[in-house]
Amino acid sequence: MPATSIREIARTLGLSHTTVSEALRDSPRVNAITRRRVQKAAKAAGYRPNPLAGALMSEMRRARSGTFRGVLAILDLDGPDNRPASSNRYHREVVRGASARAAELGFKAETIVTGTNGISDTRLDTILQTRGIRGLLLLPIANKADLSGLDWSHFAGVYTDYLIERPALHAVCSDHYRSMVIAVQRLHEMGYHRLGLVLQAPHDARLLHRWEAAFHTYHEHHSKKEALPPLVLPELDRKTFMRWFKAKRPDAVLCHRAEVMEWMQESGARIPETHGFCCLNITSNSAPCAGLDLQPALLGARGVELLIAALHRNDCGVPEHPSTTTIPAIWVDGPTLQRKQA
């Protein structure tokens, strides 16, 4: 059913388009009785204002120009001070991609940090509404995100990680399952057959164990490839890793954290001569590694595209059926792997 327009309301009430428009903005230039009459009729007709159109007209009136640069908020719920350096590298790439794509589409993306400053939902809601910001791109958060205190009837939101439930928003994230399959296939092609997967339990659980599930399932369907039991710990530590490494004897290790290579070398490995290392997120590490580029800049860009599309549809509020858009990683060759002789 097509949305009711201001012109249709004006025609029904026998008023001018300008009067109805001013009344819906609660302008004092329209008398109070007429304002209430218009607002009541608009509510009954299911009229929903388009925030982009209103912002565009306001900008044109101020600047006397047809150029419009809407503002999107990139919400950092943790803050850089509360993340390890590895995570900050990843977040910066998400922001870079989001900002660049927003600019290409005529928008400015501004980062608002709530974690470090301790901004409450009520205060954040006021800041966003006062500035006319309707589009919110949420950066990944270490723990469960909770922005249920915002008045989401004013906002469209997209989360740049796998799962958010308070509220349940549309999300864009890496295709972790497919990415793991890409990595395992590449390692097998290079001649590695005893693969050791090392994960941090909170990270694995936050993604509903997709890394681990893909690793197990791939080996179940390729019986000629030996599946070693993954090492999954609340926090990786040198002693436990070295004990596992010596007991299971993997010829290649898959892990997010590049410092694991030092523990491999302490255990007698020479990388890449005797053992290989595959980084599951090369953006998070400063050391050059072979492995997966999760394309965080592309995730940010795709999130902005989804967000702006929602704003153009005036599709604000918590979605009835939240969806997840996934992007597979890209394999990147590096000095931590070499093709093994048959």
Q: Is the predicted pLDDT of residue 136 greater than 50, yes or no?
A: yes
In which band, very low, low, confident or very high, does the pLDDT at 75 lie, cut at 50, 70 and 90?
very high
For domain 176-294, give the CATH number.
Answer: 3.40.50.2300
CATH architecture of 1-49: Orthogonal Bundle (1.10)
Q: What is the rounded average pLDDT for all residues in the chain?
A: 87
Across residues 197-210, what is the average pLDDT? 91
The Cα–Cα gap between 254 and 262 comes to 14
**Which position has the higher pLDDT, 9 or 155?**
155
* pLDDT computed for residue 60 by the predictor: 45
In which band, very low, low, confident or very high, does the pLDDT at 51 lie, cut at 50, 70 and 90?
low
In which band, very low, low, confident or very high, does the pLDDT at 35 lie, cut at 50, 70 and 90?
confident
Across residues 181-193, what is the average pLDDT? 94
Q: Is the predicted pLDDT of residue 19 greater than 70, yes or no?
A: yes
* pLDDT computed for residue 184 by the predictor: 95
Domain range list for the chain: 1-49, 70-174+297-327, 176-294
* Contact status, residue 305 vs residue 135, Cβ threshold 8 Å: no
In which band, very low, low, confident or very high, does the pLDDT at 116 lie, cut at 50, 70 and 90?
low
The Cα–Cα gap between 261 and 272 comes to 10
In which band, very low, low, confident or very high, does the pLDDT at 52 lie, cut at 50, 70 and 90?
low
Across residues 299-318, what is the average pLDDT? 93
What percentage of residues in the chain have a pLDDT greater than 70?
91
Q: Is the predicted pLDDT of residue 1 greater than 50, yes or no?
A: no
What tokens appear for 144 in the block?
A: 């469960």
Q: Which helix (H) or strand (E) holds 119?
A: none
Q: Is the predicted pLDDT of residue 56 greater than 70, yes or no?
A: no
Phi, psi torsion values for 260, nearest 5 degrees: -60, -30
Q: What is the pTM of this model?
A: 0.78
59 alpha-carbon distance from chain centroid: 29
**Which position has the higher pLDDT, 279 or 85?**
279
* 176-294 matches 1-49 in CATH topology: no
* pLDDT computed for residue 209 by the predictor: 93
- CATH classification number, 70-174+297-327, choose in 3.40.50.2300, 2.70.70.10, 3.40.50.300, 3.30.565.10: 3.40.50.2300
* pLDDT computed for residue 3 by the predictor: 59
E strand intervals along 94-193: 107-113, 135-138, 156-159, 170-174
The Cα–Cα gap between 85 and 301 comes to 22
Across residues 212-229, what is the average pLDDT? 84
Residue 110 pairs with which residues in a beta bridge?
A: 73
* Contact status, residue 73 vs residue 137, Cβ threshold 8 Å: yes
* pLDDT computed for residue 6 by the predictor: 81
| 194 three-class SS | strand
